A and B are shown apart, each in its own frame.
Chain A
Amino acid sequence: MLEKKVEQLQNQRKDQLTMVVFSNDLDKILAALVIAVGAAAMDTEVKMFFTFWAISALRNPKKKGKGKDIKSKMFGAMLPHGISQLKLSKMNMEGLGKDMIKGIMKHKNIASPEEMLATAGELGVQIDICEMSMDLMGFKKEEMIDYPNLGYCGVATFLADAGESSIQLFI
């Protein structure tokens, strides 16, 4: 009886990875992208939910949101304008540490966060942005990057997707 129940529960889980990306630290975003791309290479379906600070990593520095109030403009000015501007969570040293890490990554043929994001897009990794956080931070949809599988959603979408995933992560 119990065995049957366990089997039933197991069967509800898909070969799917659902990830909450909360941080906009360069190192954490990098970890999230490596896991996402790796999972996609393993043919696991990948769904990334960008919320709170992490949304700033998906801004296109060349685009601007229209009709922002003063607080939204302040948030917009203070947060990174896209993935290239993210800082390290440790040893950032006013950007010196970040530049060093990026130099080492290049030397060791590790893909840059920008490249990794593009690869994720090619592999069909879904990125959904939390609508509520967008609103809170004062970000507009028109200032986000052009990503092939980009959507906007609420917490219920995340919960539904996480519930049917065999792996769930919070980064």
Chain B
Amino acid sequence: MLATEDLKSIEADKVVDARGTACPGPLLAVKQAIADISDGGIMQIMSSDAGTKRDVPRWANKKGYEYLGDYEESGYFVMYLKK
């Protein structure tokens, strides 16, 4: 897991803003968006749903993607994963 500083310096290939939805909305948004990036690409996910912070790493693990880490902003979480 990368440190917040390192995460903030990452330029994502795809940004998924799922702050408007509750479980399981963010996970669905991530699943749908992953098709838009190529292998090795990085996705940034924003979610106001705290549960998503635990769900996305599990999903990534199952799919064989690398979960890079997350940090908290005011009122939401930012997560990064590598396809």
> A residues bordering B, Cβ < 8 Å?
34, 37-38, 41-43, 108-111, 119, 123
Contact = CB atoms under 8 A, between A and B. Distances in A.
30 contacts: A34-B23, A34-B24, A37-B24, A38-B23, A38-B24, A38-B27, A38-B55, A41-B24, A41-B27, A41-B28, A41-B30, A41-B59, A42-B27, A42-B31, A42-B58, A42-B59, A42-B62, A43-B31, A43-B62, A43-B63, A108-B22, A109-B20, A109-B21, A109-B22, A109-B25, A110-B22, A110-B23, A111-B22, A111-B25, A123-B28
Interface of B: 20-25, 27-28, 30-31, 55, 58-59, 62-63
A127 B21 CA distance: 25
Contacts of B62: 42-43
Given A41-B24, A43-B62, 9 more contacts: A34-B24, A37-B28, A41-B28, A41-B31, A41-B59, A42-B58, A110-B22, A119-B28, A123-B28
